[in-house]
Structure 1
Amino acid sequence: MKTLLRFFPSALVAVFMTLFLTSCAAIGDIFKAGAYTGIIGVIVVLAIVIWLVSKLFGGGGRNS
């Protein structure tokens, strides 16, 4: 039971975001903000994804 209660807040936030934050609304907000904001947002998201993938798969060029 304690395990269920430990993950409940995270699950609640995930369900809330799934129901109320649609991708169409996010794209609409980006277009309202302007093209340069969208380009910068895409670059930032790509940089974060590349950084996370490099951390997951041991990037960094160290030979051990």
Structure 2
Amino acid sequence: MKTLLRFFPMALVALFMTFCLSSCAAIGDIFKAGAYTGIIGVIVVVGVVIWLVSKLFGGGGSRNS
């Protein structure tokens, strides 16, 4: 239960950003900016998603239990 409560604010922020960001506007801006910007954006988003998943599910590190 403590683990769930510890990550709840981070999940709430991610949910808020999902509802507030318009995907159509973001895609239009990416097309205006160019292909390289889109590629870099996708890499950054995938990296952030991987980081969030690793944080939520205890991504590695040594644990002394």
Residue 55 of structure 1 deviates from its aligned partner by 0.7
Residue 38 of structure 1 pairs with residue 18 of structure 2 = no
Post-superposition Cα deviations, 1:22-48, rounded to whole Å, max 9, x if no partner, equal 211110000100000000000001001
Name segments (4+ residues, structure 1) moved above 4 Å.
Answer: none
Percent same amino acid among aligned pairs? 81
Q: Extract unaligned runs of 5+ from structure 2.
A: 1-15
How many matched pairs? 47
* DSSP 3-state at the match of 2:58: coil
Post-superposition Cα deviations, 1:2-60, rounded to whole Å, max 9, x if no partner, equal xxxxxxxxxxxx5x82xxx4211110000100000000000001001101100110112
Name the TM-score, length of structure 1 as normaliser: 0.62
Q: Extract unaligned runs of 5+ from structure 1.
A: 1-13
Q: Which residue of 1 aligns with 2:59?
A: 59
Q: Distance between the aligned counterparts of 1:33 and 1:59, measured in 2?
A: 34
Q: Max radius of gyration: which structure?
A: 1
Q: Which residue of 2 aligns with 1:47?
A: 47
